[in-house]
């Protein structure tokens, strides 16, 4: 981390976020205990302090698709015990179809920042899950929030069109279930 921060500072690139990768599990190491995530964040804060930096938020990443609602609860709970007001961002993958359920658990626990990708683009090339979906789909996250009464300020129809455009550009169907099924309004129109 010290080398990365020094390189960023030398290039004039602001360092505003600490990211802990593979925070819920790793295909090489196995299960990652919440205490290891807390230790990694504490180390990051120490190194940032040495460099005269302050992070705006801490990103907890599910780089290899191990997150489940239970793992989210354990890790976020451990972080909140140590830093109750810590702004946390979740970076989730939908490798085993649990990405949105994990995002829901994060929301329930007060997480307000999420990384997502249009149509679920992305993924982790070294995770060893050939054909697995990538990041959680932005439109699925927005749809879930809107259905829960959480205003996002995002035009869901435009976002869905962006997902369709992404599919045309890459020339294949992308993982987003929302692109295939649509929104509740889509269901209402079909039923009418």
Domain 2-115, CATH homologous superfamily name and number: Aldolase class I (3.20.20.70)
6-48 residue pLDDT tens: 999 999 999 999 999 999 998 888 999 999 999 999 999 999 9
Tell me, yes or no, if 124 is annotated catalytic: yes
63-83 residue pLDDT tens: 888 999 999 999 999 999 999
> Could you tell me the pLDDT band of residue 112, with boundaries at 50, 70 and 90?
very high
Q: How far apart are the first and last CA of the chain?
A: 57
Residues 38, 82: contact at Cβ < 8 Å?
A: yes
pTM attached to this predicted model: 0.90
Give the domain ranges of the chain.
2-115, 138-192
- The confidence score (pLDDT) of residue 97 equals 87
- With a CB cutoff of 8 Å and minimum separation 6, the contacts of 98 are 67, 68, 69
The region, left, alpha or beta by phi > 0 then psi within -120 to 50, assigned to residue 14 is beta
> Rounded CA gap, 52 and 21, in Å?
23
Catalytic residue of the set 124, 136, 143, 179? 124
């Amino acid at each position: 981390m010290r080398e990365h921060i020094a390189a960023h500072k030398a290039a004039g690139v602001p360092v505003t976020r600490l990211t802990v990768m593979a925070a819920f599990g790793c295909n090489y190491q196995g299960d990652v205990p919440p205490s290891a995530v807390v230790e990694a964040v504490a180390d990051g804060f120490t190194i940032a302090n040495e460099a005269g930096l302050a992070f705006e938020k801490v990103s907890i990443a599910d780089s290899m698709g191990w997150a489940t609602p239970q793992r989210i609860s354990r890790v976020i709970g451990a972080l909140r015990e140590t830093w109750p007001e810590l702004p946390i961002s979740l970076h989730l993958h939908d490798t085993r179809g649990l990405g949105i359920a994990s995002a829901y658990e994060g929301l329930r626990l007060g997480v307000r920042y999420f990384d997502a990708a249009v149509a679920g683009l992305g993924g982790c090339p070294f995770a060893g899950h050939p054909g697995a979906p990538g990041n959680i789909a932005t439109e699925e996250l927005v749809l879930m929030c809107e259905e829960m009464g959480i205003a996002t300020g995002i035009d869901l129809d435009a976002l869905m069109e962006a997902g369709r455009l992404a599919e045309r550009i890459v020339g294949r169907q992308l993982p987003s279930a929302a692109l295939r099924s649509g929104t509740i309004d889509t269901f209402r129109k079909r039923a009418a």
